C-alpha cells in the first residue's frame, strides 16, 4: 500500500515528496495529494507521445490518474473525484479555470456519482490540469479504471431528520483507507461504493457494489455505531438490486473497513471474471454463488492471516469538519441572505 500516514511535523511544501499527503478536514480536502504523481504523469505522457511507450501499457497508468482516452485522437477526459459530494468555492473556481484554460469547449460536466468531468483536454495539457486541481486539494486518483471509484454519499448526511449518526467522518476514513491501497489497484472491474444516512437511502446503496446504511446496536449496555453492508447491485448491462450480506459492522474499531477489504480481496481473486469485461462486476459473482455463500466467503476471509498485517483504526483517517467554524458570516440584513454581497453587486 502506498503511504497512508501523516507526519506530525511535516517538512517541505504540501504535496511534495517530503510532505506527500494532505489531510484537511474541510469539504473537498479528502483524498491525500501526492505531487510526485503529477511528475510521473508528465514523464509517462511524454514517453507515450514520443512513441517510447506502447498504448496498452500507458492506458493502465493513465486511468489510475483519472484520465480517460476519447475516441477523438490526442485528447482526454479528466474526471475529478468529489468524495461524498464535498466541494469549496475555491475548488469551484479551480474547475472554472481548468475549463477555460484546458477544455476547448470551456465547460465541464457534473456526474451522477459526484464527480466533475472535462472533455477534449490535449494529453500534453492533462498533467497541468490535474496539477491545477491538486493545488486546491482535489484529486483525480482512481477516478477511472478497475479501482474503487469515487465514494458517494447522502447529500443530507449530518442534517437530516431520523439519522442514527452522521456517517460522514467514516466515509472519509473509507476513502482515505482504500485510495492507493494495493488490494484494489487492478480489480476485475470497477468498484462503486455509496454511504447513506437513513433508510430512505438517498445515496441509492442498492445499485452499488458496496452500500452502507447506519445502524445502532447495544453491546454490553452501550450504544455501538455500525453499518449494515449491502452488495451485488448495479445498473447498465443486466441491472441488479443489491442485498444485505453483513448485518452489522462496527465503525469505531474499523470493522467496516476490515469487512470491506475482505470483499475486495475476494473480488480481486476472481480471475474468471476478467475473461469478459462486460460481465466482470461483483454482481455476477453474487449471481453465481448466491448472497448466503458470499457471506460465508467473507466470514472466512476476515479470519485470514492478512488481518494481522493491517491497521483498521479509523481515527487517524476520519473526516471531521467543523461546519459551524467554517460557515459564512451571518447575513448583514434580511435582503442579503448570503452575507456580504457587495463584491457580487459590483460584478453584477
- Domain check: are 217 and 293 in the same one? yes
- Domain check: are 209 and 299 in the same one? yes
Looking at the predicted structure, is the pLDDT value of residue 108 above 60? yes
- Domain check: are 45 and 88 in the same one? yes
CB 148 within 8 A of CB 184: yes
Name the most confidently modeled range: 58-62, 199-203, 344-348.
Answer: 199-203
- Domain check: are 203 and 299 in the same one? yes
- pLDDT tens digits for 253-265? 999 999 999 999 9
Concatenating the DSSP letter of every residue in 129-149 gives HHHHHHTTT-B-TTSSSSSEE
- Domain check: are 126 and 220 in the same one? no
- pLDDT tens digits for 325-338? 767 677 666 666 56
- Domain check: are 183 and 235 in the same one? yes
Q: What is the pLDDT of residue 17?
A: 46
CB 253 within 8 A of CB 312: yes
Is 345 part of a structural domain of the chain? no
- Domain check: are 187 and 61 in the same one? no
Residue 295 class from Cβ within 10 Å (0-12 exposed, 13-18 middle, 19+ buried)? middle
CB 179 within 8 A of CB 64: no
For residue 245, give its domain range.
148-313
Whole-number average pLDDT of the chain? 89
- Domain check: are 84 and 203 in the same one? no
The pTM score is 0.88
From CA 132, how far away is CA 137, in angstroms rounded? 9
Cα-based distances in Å from 259 to 170, 228, 295: 14, 11, 10
**For position 202, which CATH number holds?**
3.30.413.10
Amino acid at each position: 500500500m502506498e503511504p497512508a500516514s501523516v507526519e506530525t511535523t511535516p517538512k517541505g511544501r504540501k504535496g511534495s515528496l517530503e510532505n506527500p499527503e494532505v489531510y484537511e478536514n474541510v469539504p473537498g480536502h479528502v483524498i491525500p495529494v501526492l505531487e510526485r504523481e503529477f511528475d510521473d504523469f508528465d514523464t509517462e505522457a511524454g514517453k507515450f507521445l514520443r512513441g517510447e511507450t506502447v498504448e496498452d501499457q500507458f492506458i493502465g497508468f493513465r486511468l489510475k490518474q483519472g484520465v480517460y482516452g476519447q475516441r477523438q485522437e490526442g485528447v482526454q477526459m479528466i474526471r475529478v473525484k468529489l468524495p461524498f459530494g464535498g466541494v469549496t468555492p475555491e475548488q469551484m473556481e479551480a474547475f472554472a479555470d481548468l475549463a477555460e484554460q484546458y477544455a476547448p469547449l470551456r465547460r465541464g460536466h457534473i456526474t451522477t456519482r459526484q464527480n466533475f468531468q472535462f472533455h477534449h483536454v490535449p494529453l500534453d495539457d492533462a498533467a497541468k490540469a490535474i496539477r491545477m486541481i491538486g493545488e486546491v486539494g482535489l484529486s483525480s486518483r482512481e477516478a477511472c479504471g478497475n479501482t474503487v471509484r469515487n465514494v458517494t454519499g447522502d447529500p443530507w448526511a449530518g442534517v437530516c431528520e431520523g439519522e442514527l449518526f452522521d456517517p460522514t467522518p467514516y466515509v472519509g476514513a473509507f476513502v482515505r483507507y482504500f485510495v492507493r491501497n494495493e488490494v484494489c489497484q487492478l480489480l476485475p472491474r470497477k468498484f462503486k461504493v455509496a454511504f447513506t444516512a437513513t433508510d430512505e437511502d438517498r445515496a441509492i446503496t442498492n445499485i452499488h457494489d458496496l452500500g452502507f446504511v447506519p445502524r445502532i446496536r447495544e453491546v454490553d449496555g452501550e450504544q455501538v455505531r455500525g453499518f449494515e453492508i449491502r452488495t451485488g447491485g448495479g445498473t447498465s448491462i443486466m441491472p441488479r438490486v443489491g442485498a444485505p450480506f453483513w448485518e452489522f459492522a462496527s465503525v469505531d474499531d474499523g470493522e467496516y473497513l476490515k469487512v470491506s477489504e475482505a470483499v475486495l480481496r475476494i473480488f480481486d481473486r476472481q480471475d474468471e471474471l476478467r475473461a469478459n469485461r462486460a460481465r466482470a462486476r461483483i454482481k455476477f459473482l453474487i449471481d453465481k454463488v448466491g448472497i448466503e455463500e458470499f457471506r460465508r466467503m467473507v466470514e472466512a476471509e476476515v479470519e485470514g492471516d492478512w488481518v494481522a498485517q493491517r491497521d483498521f483504526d479509523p481515527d487517524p483517517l476520519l473526516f471531521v469538519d467543523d461546519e459551524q467554524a467554517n460557515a459564512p458570516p451571518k447575513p448583514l440584513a434580511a435582503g442579503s441572505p448570503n452575507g456580504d454581497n457587495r463584491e457580487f453587486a459590483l460584478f453584477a
